[in-house]
Amino acid sequence: MEPREKILGALREMHDEFTSGEELSEALDVSRTMVWKHIESLRGEGYIIESITGTGYKLVAVPDLLLPAEIGKDLKTDFIGKQIHYFDELDSTSLKAKEIAAESANGTVVIAERQSEGRGRMGREWHSPPGGIYLSIILKPDIPPDLVHRLTLVAGVATAEVLSEMGVAAEIKWPNDLLIGEKKVCGILTEVDAEMDATNYVVIGIGINANTELDLLPAITRLRVTSLEEDLGRRVDRVAITRKLLERFEEYYVTFLKGDFPRILRYWREHSATIGRRVRIVTRWRTIEGEAVGIDHDGALIVELDGGGVEREITGTCFHI
């Protein structure tokens, strides 16, 4: 553990008590000057640390930021989020993740407080003002590329479960938008780097409107989205949500890798906003309309067409009509 993290950990353990620079220095085996320097750097990040000459330091408040030290504290995962790259602002966490994927460990996560060029599916923009959760997970699964789309459902189910544990009734619009009522609260973008028969890496980008300042969104987007804060009527703990999300994601990802995709599908169906609805599915190649009657073993949406017949789509944009 880095000295900085050790100092933070020690201050946390002291709860409401002061601890002296000397005690910190001795217990953690760092010089008093280094203790002071790290305290200053923590303050620079927004930690409020009170100090009284001759008495010592006391941690008073942690900043409302998705800092790796906060998320990593008590994170119960084996590999997801063990390495977190944190930025105040990025063009896009997924762009950054792809840039570093080759040299990154499986499960590395990129997080930003805001994005200047957040990307959505089908080349759309994902507006990313402060208060949201914007993260991308780098995965290196040993699976054929034609199974990668299933990871989108894995991420959707993990996120839906986290929200449902918070008392938010979010449903999944196929394949992986999370809606509260008809309004979008979360979007997921899965990108892959693959050859014919091998997957090099996958980047799963997840955007959640948590305490997002919705007024900063363009008027047209504002009509179609909501946030956790708006739904619950209170600000939410973004660090706790992110930690839970990484834990749930790992659980479902491992389930998927072990071959139990049916378990993911069961959960997906239980929380589906799409099954039983009339839908229009737009893909690069065609548009179909009809009633969504289910998803098959591969995660493809099954649509009974208005003109008769049944079609399946593995990917596309879904409109509830």
Binding residues for ligand BTN, rule: CB under 6 A, are: 92-94, 115, 118-121, 124, 126, 134-136, 177, 187-189, 205-207
Which residues touch 15 (CB under 8 Å, ≥6 apart)?
A: none
Sign for the CA dihedral angle at 227, 212, 137, 74 comes to negative
By beta-carbon proximity to ligand BTN, the closer residue of 38 and 119 is 119
- Adjacent-strand bridge partners of 173: 177
Count of CA atoms in the C-beta half-sphere (13 A) of 253? 26
Burial of 44 (0-12, 13-18, 19+ CB in 10 A): exposed
Nearer to ligand BTN, 119 or 150 (CB): 119
- Secondary structure E strands in the chain: 48-52, 56-61, 84-90, 109-115, 133-139, 171-173, 177-180, 183-194, 199-208, 278-282, 287-295, 301-305, 310-313, 317-320
Joined together, the tokens standing for residue 231 give 């739904």
Closest distance to ligand BTN from the beta carbon of 174 (Å)? 12
State which residue, 38 or 271, has the beta carbon closest to ligand BTN: 271
- Find out whether 135 and 206 touch, Cβ atoms under 8 Å: yes
Residue closer to ligand BTN by CB (options 19, 128) is 128
Give the shortest CB-103-to-ligand BTN separation in angstroms. 20
Query: Smallest gap, in angstroms, from Cβ of residue 295 to ligand BTN?
Result: 18
CB of 254 to ligand BTN, least distance (A): 22
| Shortest separation between residue 97's beta carbon and ligand BTN, angstroms | 8
Closer residue to ligand BTN (CB): 115 or 315: 115
Closest CB to ligand BTN among 75 and 155? 155
State the residue number with the nearest CB to ligand BTN. Answer: 187
Least gap, CB of 96 to ligand BTN (angstroms): 9
